[in-house]
Amino acid sequence: MTLRSFADLGVAGPLQRALRAENYAHPTPIQDQTIPHLLAGKDLLGIAQTGTGKTAAFSLPILQHLSADRPGENRNASGKAERGGRNRRGSAPRALIVAPTRELALQIGESFHSYGRHLPLRHTVILGGVSQHPQVRTLSIGVDILVATPGRLLDLKEQGHVRLGQISHLVLDEADLMLDMGFLRDMRKIIAAVPAKRQIMLFSATMPPDIASLAREVLNDPVRVEVSPRTITVEQVDQRVFFIDTANKRALLAHLLQDADMSRVIVFMRTKRGASRLAEHLAKAGFPTEAIHGNKTQSARQSALGQFQNGRVRILVATDVAARGIDFSAVSHVVNYELSNIPESYVHRVGRTARAGAGGIALSFCDASERAFLRSIEQLTKRPITVVENHPHQSSAASKGQPEPSPPGRSAPKRRGASGPSRPDKLRDASNGTAPKRQTPSGGPASNGPKPIRQGASWERTTPRTRRKRRARSRASAS
């Protein structure tokens, strides 16, 4: 099959030049399938995760449309040119991209900067956790493209600093994560605030019912494109699993890290507290390590990412939410120190080492209580993960899926459910030091062991009460 070029898709010359500078030889599948439709003005429902090239898929058509307006003219919502256009001081934005996390918003801003370098369009990123004054100043000068997290966007709108009446292009990126962070109502408010005639592009890695119904309500005869992350894990990542007892995971990780080939490693944990503790332990053991998770301040997260990206530290310990949406380049290994109970999260994690075509290695540590998680993952990815035999911390209990032997002086762990034993060590790691909770895809903390996971389920659902609490926390941290 011959690959199409960006020119074949209808991408304009100045954008092609920028893409050449980025060394993008060919469009990725999501770009190939969406760009022609988006250039033709269609709405889009894109089921794709970060790492597929979705940012360019929506930014290139937006840049092309906005730059097609003649200087001194501005498109109104119906696409007609009107006087007083894009170079007008204080002009309202014409494209709005809403993203759940500050990191993702910043990354999207950088993409617009790279792809739009030969075009006279202005963009800015507004996000919470930092002073609003510089953002307000930039907005008052006027921008064409606005990238924002939902909370700060609505704050500035309510204060009258952001006007959405000229928006002709709206992107909702990582919509399922916004839902999970409690931003569903904010998404609806934003959609209601933009003109009725607009092009909407909604991207989501999964399609929970709330996002499916939002899509049905707001998209106008959309093109639906699904780029399965399964292809990424199955075809490009070398995936291996180590059966191990919980207590030996640190020792196994330290052993593996002796290998210099593990040059850029992301270690995934399920909880913020677990991530902090492991990062501290690795640093003490002589492995320069940084951690990113939701309890870190924005500047601490940026600094940790900077250290990792510039190679000063080779290990980054991360939680799923904190790492979501971040574009890590040249990651040699992903380590699933704790397997996720949501198989889609495994796919997200592993995709970090197979960015846009490059292969990578994913190592998973599976203790006895995580056997059910492993089964769900293998069901989703439709291929068995290679078992590493004869490693120094081999656990026969984990490989047989039996309960771990209790440490001396401790009574045998009580079975919490039919499909898996409890894990005292893990449970002590639960966030905030509160009562042990285990995330479930179908609601709240589980009282039992791992349950079969429904495919396509939201990767973390919560009870209404937890959602209210989380919403308050998310607003404080994400915007």
Please, what is the minimum distance in Å from the beta carbon of residue 160 to ligand AMP? 33
Select from 387, 355, 137, 371 the least CA-distant residue to 264. 355
Q: Which residue in 189, 185, 226, 182 sits closest to 206, CA to CA?
A: 226
* Cβ proximity to ligand AMP, 243 vs 268, nearer residue: 268
Cβ nearer to ligand AMP, comparing 329 with 455: 329
Three-class SS state of 5: coil
Nearest-approach distance from CB 236 to ligand AMP, in angstroms: 13
> Encoding tokens for residue 24?
């993008």
Tokens, residue 271: 């909880």
Nearer to ligand AMP, 49 or 295 (CB): 49
Phi, psi of 317 (to 5 degrees): -95, 130
Residues 220 and 98: their CA atoms lie apart, in Å, by 19
Residue 415 CB, nearest approach to ligand AMP (Å): 41
Closer residue to ligand AMP (CB): 327 or 378:
327
Cβ proximity to ligand AMP, 53 vs 413, nearer residue: 53
245 phi, psi to nearest 5 deg: -80, 150
Q: How far is the CB of 234 from ligand AMP (least distance, A)?
A: 18
18 or 218: CB nearest ligand AMP: 18
Q: Which residues bind ligand AMP (CB under 6 A)?
A: 24, 27-28, 31, 50-56, 327, 329, 355-356
Find out whether 183 and 150 touch, Cβ atoms under 8 Å.
yes
Tokens of 157: 């709108």
Whether 242 contacts 363, CB under 8 Å: yes
Q: How far is the CB of 391 from ligand AMP (least distance, A)?
A: 32
Residue (53 or 450) nearer to ligand AMP, CB:
53
For residue 292, the cross-strand partners are 318
Q: Which of 121, 184, 128, 132 is nearest to 151 (CA)?
A: 128
Q: Write down the least CB distance from residue 15 to ligand AMP, Å.
A: 12
Q: At its nearest, how many Å lie between ligand AMP and the CB of residue 332?
A: 16
Which residues in 270-387 belong to E strands, given as ranges? 289-292, 315-319, 333-336, 360-366, 386-387
